[in-house]
Amino acid sequence: DTGVSQNPRHKITKRGQNVTFRCDPISEHNRLYWYRQTLGQGPEFLTYFQNEAQLEKSRLLSDRFSAERPKGSFSTLEIQRTEQGDSAMYLCASSPYTGASEAFFGQGTRLTVV
Amino acid sequence: DQQVKQNSPSLSVQEGRISILNCDYTNSMFDYFLWYKKYPAEGPTFLISISSIKDKNEDGRFTVFLNKSAKHLSLHIVPSQPGDSAVYFCAASDGSEKLVFGKGMKLTVNP
């Protein structure tokens, strides 16, 4: 499978716990994006990497959120001290193109905070 | 504040007929528009796009029309097929790396 891979697919955690998601982009795609989608809404931009550099962060990305992309390959998104409002689908996408065009999305990680 | 609006949450059409999905935007800086399709339990899949220098882009059964003065775009699917049943998202970009999505519209194509 050469698509964008996200793990885990589902995560249930207790409020206050930390969680980490992983995204493996399509090989050689230098651009990687994280989006969050809540029920009834479209995906909302969280952050963007070009290679290993995190070049843009949304105001949605509070201090409890951190994303990394070491060596410009896979990426991780960590949420510390989770809150019920963090419950959402977290989508990763990658692209070989400049600008926000034709990004290829993974299946997402569904987070439920109880 | 929704910068990309898909005002109809759902649409139901008969197989073989035309499906028209509408999208409005408010940010005049948007210069690139995309449509994504999403099946349950899958991530969004790119369908078709259009640059603001064009008013129409066609790819097989899918055509996107852009009316910049009205800040409106539409996706036409002709003929509609049951496999087209999915949630469709309109998205826009201002040239940055960020896509702004609408809330989506569920299309059901009945056999």
Q: What is the pLDDT of residue A100?
A: 67
* Contact status of B13 with chain A (Cβ, < 8 Å): no
The closest CB to that of B42, out of A101, A102, A107, belongs to A107
Query: Cβ distance B88 to B96 under 8 Å?
Result: no
Which pLDDT score, from 0 to 100, does residue B73 have?
97
Among B42, B98, B103, select the one facing A48 at the smallest CB separation. Answer: B98
Convert the pLDDT of each residue in A40-80 to its tens digit: 999 999 999 999 999 999 988 889 999 999 988 999 999 99
H, E, C per residue of A5-68? EEECCEEEECCCCCEEEEEECCCCCCEEEEEEECCCCCCEEEEEEECCEEEEECCCCCCCEEEE
